[in-house]
């Protein structure tokens, strides 16, 4: 059972009534379930442990970098995939070991590279020959060795939203597969560079195993070609991207079924198993970088209805939370189930659930069938533990929400609501 669930027509987070938490801490409010996050991590990690493969499971901390969530996963033994100097700082501060930190990103600055070299991060995932040359120069100046993995763009369709596809020709990520062998050859000649691996992250929210299988096969053949060139790769990193379910997360007779074009979700276990079986014969160390799959269904965003308004074309439910708290719907038309915290048999109406921000794109749900909501009613936007708070902003000079963590009967405020007096800092 998911740790967010309905009992007696009311939404719970572990042992707490969501409505009570929202009354106590105010709205908008992010609520996370520690047990859900732990379960997700173990579902991915345990098959790897059982497989006896040598592996690193590096949490992509961009998904949710709340200090307490970072700590939960570092205490479980996770490594970190970081995308900036700021994320390196957070990873080190909240318990991630240097030999489990891998640094990705197309645009690392010289200062960030120097910082990461001095902190001796385990790996730089590099995305262009120019970047490798810069890393080599800086490492040489500092008399340090940079361990690198070269990210290839395999031109594989991850069958996900175009904005979160990263492994196709038209994307900025990785090195064109036509150039990859030359880049390895050039990089191999550079001083203070140790090529330890090859990397390919083909996208996010991937719900089928086939794109991974294709990627692993492609990488396997590349490794063979590199071997012929005298370059031996020790690590195979295929990034993150495991998809999660956003529709019909909560089912109940007062909640309409959501039409889901994507019926066949691979479970985390299936995703990982498919890769394990392909990797066993390659005799390489494996790195994975899951983000969303560890935290997305471990969090909800709770908001309150401020007003309802009947327009000529549609009815609007105007709420106290919007695009500055949860950017995903406006950024890539992401779908999140909206669940009233108290379910009632009111029948359904079709509405747009919108935020208070001065943008037409400020919506949480569009043309959505929901029970009738009135001023003061509270609702949860489900599956918002990943790329929720971490993508939030102060747009319209709005303060970011509070974040709390529940674990059984325990609740902890893990980030205070911002105060308007802090806005000028």
- Choices 216-224, 239-247, 270-278, 327-335; region in contact with ligand PLP by CB under 6 A: 239-247
385 binds ligand PLP (CB under 6 A): no
The distance of closest approach from Cβ of residue 394 to ligand PLP in the complex, given in angstroms and rounded to an integer, is 23
* Residue listed under structure tokens 């030359």: 182
290 binds ligand PLP (CB under 6 A): yes
The distance of closest approach from Cβ of residue 295 to ligand PLP in the complex, given in angstroms and rounded to an integer, is 9
Binding mask 97-116 for ligand PLP (x = CB under 6 A): -------x------------
Can you read off the two tokens belonging to residue 202? 């083909």
On whether the CB atoms of residues 69 and 32 are closer than 8 A, the answer is: yes
Which residue, 108 or 201, has its beta carbon nearer to ligand PLP? 201
Among 211, 241, 385, 388, which residue sits at the site for ligand PLP (rule: CB under 6 A)? 241
Among 154, 197, 291, 385, which residue sits at the site for ligand PLP (rule: CB under 6 A)? 291
Parallel, antiparallel, or unpaired for β 315-319 and 299-310?
antiparallel
Which residue, 14 or 289, has its beta carbon nearer to ligand PLP? 289
* Cβ partners under 8 Å of residue 242, min gap 6: 44, 206, 266, 268, 271, 272, 290, 292, 293
355 binds ligand PLP (CB under 6 A): no
On whether the CB atoms of residues 235 and 196 are closer than 8 A, the answer is: yes
Which residues on adjacent β-strands are paired with residue 237? 199, 287
CA distance 294 to 70: 11
Beta strands in 95-186 (DSSP E): 101-103, 123-126, 146-153, 175-176
Whole-Å CA distances, 386 to 214, 302, 351: 26, 15, 25
Which residue, 292 or 398, has its beta carbon nearer to ligand PLP? 292
The dihedral built from the CA positions of residue 114, 118, 119 and 123, taken in this order, carries a sign that is positive
* Residue 358: active-site member: yes
- Choices 69-77, 180-188, 248-256, 289-297; region in contact with ligand PLP by CB under 6 A: 289-297
Among 201, 284, 304, 328, which residue sits at the site for ligand PLP (rule: CB under 6 A)? 201
Which residues make up the interface to ligand PLP (CB under 6 A)?
Answer: 60, 63, 81, 104, 201, 204, 239-242, 289-293
Residues tagged active-site: 358
């Amino acid at each position: 059972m998911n740790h967010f669930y309905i009992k007696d027509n009311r939404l719970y987070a572990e042992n707490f009534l969501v409505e009570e938490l929202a009354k106590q801490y105010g709205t908008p409010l992010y609520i996370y379930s520690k047990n859900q996050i732990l379960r997700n991590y173990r579902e991915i990690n345990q098959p790897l442990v059982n497989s006896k493969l040598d592996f690193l499971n590096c949490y992509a901390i961009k998904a949710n970098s709340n200090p307490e969530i970072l700590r939960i996963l570092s205490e479980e033994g996770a490594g970190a995939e970081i995308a900036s100097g700021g994320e390196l700082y957070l990873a080190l501060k909240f318990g991630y070991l240097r030999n489990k930190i891998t640094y990705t990103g197309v645009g690392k600055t010289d200062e960030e590279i120097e910082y990461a070299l001095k902190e001796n991060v385990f790996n730089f995932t590099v995305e262009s020959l120019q970047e490798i040359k810069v890393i080599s120069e800086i490492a040489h100046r500092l008399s340090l060795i940079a361990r690198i993995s070269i990210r290839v763009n395999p031109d594989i369709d991850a069958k996900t939203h175009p904005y979160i596809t990263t492994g196709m020709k038209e994307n900025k990520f990785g090195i064109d597969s036509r150039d990859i062998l030359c880049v390895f050859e050039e990089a191999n000649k550079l001083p203070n560079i140790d090529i330890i691996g090859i990397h390919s992250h083909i996208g996010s929210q991937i719900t089928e195993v086939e794109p991974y299988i294709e990627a692993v096969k492609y990488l396997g053949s590349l490794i063979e070609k590199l071997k012929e060139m005298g370059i031996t790769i020790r690590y195979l990193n295929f990034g993150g991207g495991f998809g999660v379910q956003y529709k019909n997360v909560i089912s109940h007779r007062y909640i309409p079924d959501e039409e889901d074009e994507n019926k066949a979700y691979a479970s985390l276990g299936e995703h990982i198993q498919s890769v394990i079986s392909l990797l066993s014969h390659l005799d390489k160390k494996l790195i994975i970088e899951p983000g969303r799959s560890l935290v997305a269904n471990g969090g909800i965003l709770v908001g309150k209805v401020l007003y309802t308004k009947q327009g000529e074309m549609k009815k609007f439910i105007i709420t106290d939370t919007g695009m500055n708290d949860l950017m995903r719907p406006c950024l890539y038309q992401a779908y999140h189930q909206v669940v009233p915290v108290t379910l009632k048999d009111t029948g359904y109406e079709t509405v747009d659930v919108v935020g208070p921000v001065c943008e037409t794109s400020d919506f949480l749900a569009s043309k959505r069938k929901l029970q009738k909501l009135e001023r003061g009613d509270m609702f949860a936007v489900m599956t918002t533990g990943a790329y929720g708070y971490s993508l939030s902003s102060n747009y319209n000079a709005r303060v970011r929400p509070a974040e709390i963590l529940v674990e059984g009967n325990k609740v902890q405020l893990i980030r205070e609501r911002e105060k308007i007096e802090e806005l000028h800092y």
